[in-house]
Chain A
Amino acid sequence: MFEAIAFYLFAFLTALMFFITVTTSQALHALTALAAGMIFISAFFFILGADFLGAVQIVVYSGAVMALYAFGMMFFDTTRDVKEKQGNKYIIAGLSIVSAILVVLIFAAPMVTDNITALYPMTEGVGNTQDVGMVLFTKYLVPFEVAAVMLLVAMVAGIVLAGKKMDASLTEMSEAEIEEINTRELS
């Protein structure tokens, strides 16, 4: 009972928040709504017993990602109203609603899930975090490491793109100008 109430409550809240995110013309509202939505999602995770995931969700999203976006907003000076020319709203609404209805239609049907055996079952009496750690560092060790590489890539990318290196474009300079810069740096 509690579960159902919680589900419907958070479902409503999440949907509302996300809806605000995609519709509001205030960037700040959008950001706030998004952050709130993220938090509500973590609630689902806790409901579903994925404590570790919930924590990660809050830390990563509400912490890191939101902070990044907030900085971005300040940088881009989008705290004012965002003016957006709108195209054909019917296309947007139509496409989304149709896709949603189609998928929902199918998902509403019960699944034949008789013979599904959990490959990496949750262990009774063990905390979710431990459980996750076990799987993560055995089976999912490689993806985990690759994810690390990916984060490294993202970091390098962020540094390169946002850093000073991109200020002067060698691509658009003539060879003589590049030479000049090089010699200046050397001297």
Chain B
Amino acid sequence: MLEPVNISLESLNIVTLYPMLIPVIGALLILCIDIFKGGLDRTLYVAITLLVLFIDFQTLLSASNVFATEGTVVGVFDMMLIDGLAIISQFIIVGASMFFIPLALSKKQFHESSYPEFFAMFLFTIAGLQFMVATDSLILIFVGLETSSLAVYTMIAMHNRDKSFEAAVKYFTMGALAAGFYSFGAMVFYALTGSVEINQIATVLAANGYADMGYVLVGTVFMLAALGFKVGLVPFHTWAPDVYEGSSAAMAGFLSIVPKIAIFVVAMRLFEFLIHSGVIWLEIVLYIVVVSTMTMGNIWALVQSDVKRMLAYSSISHAGFVMAAILIGTTQSNSALFLYWILFAFTNLGAFSMLWISRQKELPHGQTSDHSYEKFSGMIQTSPITALVMGLFMLSLAGLPPFALFWGKLYIMSSAVTSGYTVLALVMALNSAIAGYYYLKLIVYMFMKDPVDGATGASFSSNASLALKAIIGFAVIGTIFAIIAINPLLEFISAFVYNSGY
């Protein structure tokens, strides 16, 4: 007979669950509202979502206070783990989501945002991601990952046109394969250590001195494939361009930022101890993967004719850039990862929002995709401010100082230099130069070509509403004046990362 278990509520440390519970409750609330009164306007749901996220943000703030005073907190049978990484990444997840959700308030109506389920899905996604980053257990990571992924597949498909279905199906199918990889990898680690908690895995492996190197390598391979798929590392990246192209620009922007940071945190937790424990293979392979991701992402971006697709490939390249931080694996590089991602979030938010506001329902004559380069021809003449803003985001993405992303690149490259990865730093530098070309290509179209006949500036902001403009304005300010925020951000991130032991 089993003994009954008595557990006091205090020892559960329910507080660690609050940040994830709030979006779940919010999502349920939205579903309930829809049940009681259908046909409500999307503005309501956007507002509710925003409020929920806002509260979520507040709980994160208090969690960060807890962390600052007490250090790492575990709770709910040690399943939840609130450390610096979890807090920073949740800040990014929730913060970025707060900026992406108002994009639903576009001037034109699109299918997904017209239905409350979309907002519920959105919040579920966020909750799933939050669970992923705030735990040590491969099980919870898996469940959280799948929760968010399933919601994301649905949201993509809800855009409701052929390309988005195609994107969703592709993403889904490959995601299923990746889930297989993930479970296989987790199984190997479990077989090795008898545990699915990363901490425990690390302890056991260290204790037996990596005696079963073969098993460790197999487990790492499968994990790398699964996580690599989610962040889009070459050669697991093939979903990214199609999915970005198929989903709406707002969704694509969201995809390029929010889910990836969660995976990065998982990767950081999982690979950090492996890299530092002398699994040189991982270092070599990660090196190869990082370099090929950066380079091939860039090279494929060079030949794109659609801006959104180009941004997809560029996101792949950026992911490779950030993965390098995990490869380097010092406190500085891990801080750099978060810094980079925050700044990347601002810039990419802006860039995708700019695409979003220029979204037309019918494709103009002679264009095969929503955001072909030709569409932006001569933008400076017909719509100068829009062109300037778009140009600004492109320059920031290219890493031109003093715009936001430059500081991220600077810090990551610095961490590479500091840890002796000189060649990697040079590869990063040269890749930034290659990347310059395709960002410049858009600028060339906007600033140096003449508009196609009959084009007016109106088409560039045909989908613009006040909310979208405000978001873009915010992104612009963030991108230009990032330099002011770097110091506090850096201090905050470094302290949190360092105190989490990474």
Contact assessment for B121 and A153 in the assembled complex, using a CB-CB cutoff below 8 Å: yes
Q: Are B159 and A171 in contact (CB under 8 A)?
A: yes
Q: Is the CB of B143 within 8 A of A141?
A: no
Residues from chain B with a CB closer than 8 A to the CB of A111 are 191-192, 212, 215
Please name all residues of chain B whose beta carbon is closer than 8 Å to the beta carbon of A118 when the two chains form the complex.
Answer: 194
Query: Is there contact, CB below 8 Å, between B147 and A174?
Result: no
Given the interface pairs A109-B214, A150-B150, the reply to whether A169 lies near B111 with Cβ below 8 Å is yes
The segment from A19-27, A54-62, A64-72, A126-134 that touches chain B is A126-134
Task: Say how far B356's CB is from chain A's closest CB, in angstroms.
Answer: 13
* Interface pair B158/A160, CB less than 8 Å apart: yes
Which residues from 144 to 164 on chain B have a C-beta closer than 8 Å to any C-beta of chain A?
Answer: 144, 146-147, 150-151, 153-154, 157-161, 164
B1 close to A (CB within 8 Å): yes
For A110, give the chain B residue with the smallest CB separation.
Answer: B212
Q: How many A-B residue pairs have CB under 8 A?
A: 144
| Interface 0/1 of B128-143, CB less than 8 Å to A | 1001000101011001
Give chain B residues whose Cβ lies under 8 Å from the Cβ of A138. Answer: 5, 7, 77
**Bound state CA distance, A8 and B204, in angstroms?**
32
Please report the C-alpha to C-alpha distance between residue A127 and residue B197 in the assembled complex, in whole angstroms: 25
Say whether A80 faces chain B, with CB atoms less than 8 Å apart.
no
Most buried by A among B80, B143, B154, B212: B143
Contact of B140 among A106, A113, A130, A146 (CB under 8 A): A146
Instruction: Say whether A160 contacts B1, CB under 8 Å.
Output: no
- Find out whether the CB atom of A156 lies under 8 angstroms from the CB atom of B31: yes
Q: How far is the CA of A70 from the CA of B465 in the complex (A)?
A: 46
CB <8 Å contact, B79 and A149: no
Contact B194 A161 (CB under 8 A): no
Interface flags for B184-195 (1: CB within 8 Å of A; 0: not) read 000000011111
Q: Are B139 and A143 in contact (CB under 8 A)?
A: yes
Q: Which of A131, A146, A154, A178 interacts with B143 by CB under 8 Å?
A: A146
- The verdict on B495 contacting chain A, using a C-beta distance below 8 Å, is no
Most buried by B among A109, A146, A150, A159: A146
Inter-chain contacts of A140 with B (CB < 8 A): 77, 79, 139
Partner of B208 from A115, A149, A152, A185 at Cβ < 8 Å: A115
Interface presence of B300 (CB below 8 A) = no
Beta-carbon contact of A166 and B109 below 8 Å: no
| Contact B140 A142, beta carbon cutoff 8 Å | yes
Q: Is A103 an interface residue (CB 8 A)?
A: yes
Considering the chains assembled together, what is the distance between the CA atoms of A103 and B219 in angstroms? 10
Quick check: which of B112-120, B263-271, B290-298, B481-489 contacts chain A, the rest being far away? B112-120
Interface of A is mostly: helix
CB distance from A53 to the nearest CB of B (A): 14
In the assembled complex, A93 has its CB within 8 A of some CB on chain B: no
* Contacting residues of chain A (144-165) with chain B, CB-CB under 8 angstroms: 146-147, 149-150, 152-154, 156-157, 159-161, 165
Closest CB of chain A to B162's CB: distance in Å? 9
Partner of A157, one of B77, B151, B207: B151
- The answer to whether B68 has its CB under 8 Å from any CB of chain A is no
Minimal Cβ-Cβ distance residue in A for B248: A171
Would A171 and B140 be within 8 Å (CB), given that A142-B80, A149-B124, A157-B154 are in contact? no
Closest to A161 in B: B157
- The residues in B between 85 and 122 inclusive whose CB is less than 8 angstroms from any CB of A are 108-112, 114-115, 117, 120-121
Interface presence of B211 (CB below 8 A):
yes
- Residue from the list A105, A106, A115, A149 in contact with B147, Cβ < 8 A: A149
How far apart sit A31 and B119, CA to CA, in the bound complex (Å)? 35
- If the complex has contacts A150-B143, A157-B121, are A175 and B154 also in contact, measured as CB distance less than 8 A? no
In the complex, which residues of chain A have a beta carbon less than 8 angstroms from the beta carbon of B114? 170
A131 near B2 (CB under 8 angstroms)?
yes
Contact across chains for B2 and A126 when beta carbons are under 8 A apart: yes
Decide if A156 touches B161 in the complex (CB within 8 Å): no
Tell me the residues in window 257-313 of chain B with beta carbons closer than 8 Å to chain A beta carbons.
none
Residue contact B124 to A153, C-beta cutoff 8 Å: yes
How far is B131's CA from A178's CA once the two chains are assembled, in angstroms?
38
Min C-beta distance of A88 to chain B, whole Å: 17
Q: Nearest B residue to A99 by beta-carbon distance?
A: B221
* Contact B76 A141, beta carbon cutoff 8 Å: yes
A86 at the interface (CB under 8 A from B): no
Q: Does the CB pair B143–A169 fall under 8 Å?
A: no
Cross-chain contact of B109 among A106, A113, A170 (Cβ < 8 A): A170
Output the nearest chain A residue to B77 by Cβ-Cβ distance: A139
Q: How far is the CB of A175 from chain B (nearest CB, A)?
A: 6
**CB of B316 closer than 8 Å to a CB of A:** no
Q: Are A150 and B147 in contact (CB under 8 A)?
A: yes
Chain B: minimal CB distance from A99 (Å): 10
B215 contact from A106, A142, A152, Cβ within 8 A:
A106
Q: Which residue of the partner chain A has the closest CB to B125?
A: A153
Q: Shortest beta-carbon distance, A66 to chain B, in Å? A: 17
In the assembled complex, the CB of B95 is this many whole angstroms from the nearest CB of chain A, namely 22
Complex CA gap A112/B214 in Å reads 11
A118 and B159 CA atoms in complex are apart in Å by 47
User: For A116, what are the chain B residues with a Cβ–Cβ distance below 8 Å?
Assistant: 193-194, 204
Contact A150 to B146, CB < 8 A, known contacts A115-B204, A165-B115, A170-B111: yes
How many Å lie between the Cα of A165 and that of B38 in the bound state?
12
Known pairs A150-B143, A166-B157, A171-B164 / 8 extra A-B pairs, C-beta < 8 Å:
A103-B218, A111-B192, A115-B204, A116-B193, A141-B77, A142-B80, A143-B143, A157-B150
Report 25 cross-chain contacts, Cβ distance below 8 Å, ordered by A residue.
A105-B214, A112-B211, A112-B212, A113-B192, A116-B193, A123-B2, A126-B2, A138-B5, A141-B76, A141-B79, A142-B17, A142-B79, A142-B80, A143-B79, A146-B140, A146-B144, A147-B143, A153-B147, A157-B150, A157-B153, A161-B154, A161-B158, A165-B117, A170-B160, A175-B361
**A-B pairs, 5 with minimum CB distance:** A116-B194, A106-B214, A157-B154, A169-B160, A170-B111
Instruction: Write the residues of chain B forming the contact surface with A, with a CB cutoff of 8 angstroms.
Output: 1-2, 5, 7, 17, 24, 31, 39, 76-80, 108-112, 114-115, 117, 120-121, 124, 127-128, 131, 135, 137, 139-140, 143-144, 146-147, 150-151, 153-154, 157-161, 164, 191-195, 197, 200, 204, 207-208, 211-212, 214-215, 217-218, 248, 361-362
